[in-house]
Amino acid sequence: MKIFAVGMNYAQHNKELLGTLLKPENPVIFMKPDSALLKDHKPFFIPDDLGRIEYEAEVVVRICRLGKTISERFAHRYYDAVTLGIDFTARELQQKLRAAGQPWELSKGFDGAAALGDWVDVDKFRDVQALNFHLDINGQTVQEGFTGDMLYKIDELIAYISRYFTLKTGDILYTGTPAGTGPVEVNDHLEGYLTDRKVLEMNCK
């Protein structure tokens, strides 16, 4: 199983992080190891040696068939379920790596850094590119997004990634985070929603 993730896919988050609204020339793709996956509502153990850890809530899609060099107009056939995930990020480490021109993996791929909610069939939604989603911490909404605001849409991402990697059944794609990222602390209770459907619930320890 491969875990793909997309950086800089919402303009307001780019402004928040980088001070610019600009759309990247191509999708910014990185990967997480399978040991980063955290599912079944298990707790997230905050690393004590990576500095500030921030949540990045994002819509995640599940690949359901084998594909290579997929045409964008057929990409919708290659995923069958969506959920909300959290791309946990060691923010200070990421900034240090970025400043040095080095890869992000150490700040994005540590154990538990890819939290995953419960899958929902795409058929349950009229349009996956028109989904509202939000993350609550301790009962307060801290981050909200709308998939229509993605700079690169889901089908575009799948077409682009499949030029470089063969997609396989069970691969997952984190599609990018909107503005509103922030830190998590020990004892935080996280709840994630797709529209009004709660798909993610977990504690930080």
List, for residues 159-175, the tens digit of each pLDDT value: 999 999 999 999 999 99
Domain spans of the chain, in order of start? 3-204
Query: Do residues 195 and 133 touch, judged by C-beta distance below 8 A?
Result: yes
Q: Check residue 16 and give its pLDDT.
A: 73
CB atoms < 10 A from the CB of 181, how many?
A: 20
Does domain 3-204 fall under CATH 3.90.850.10? My reply is yes
Query: Do residues 82 and 60 touch, judged by C-beta distance below 8 A?
Result: yes
Q: Six-digit token pair at 191?
A: 């709840």
**Positions of the chain with pLDDT under 70:** 14, 18
- pTM, whole model, 2 decimals? 0.96
Q: How far apart are CA 58 and CA 143, in angstroms?
A: 10
Backbone angles phi, psi at 139, to 5 degrees: 85, 0
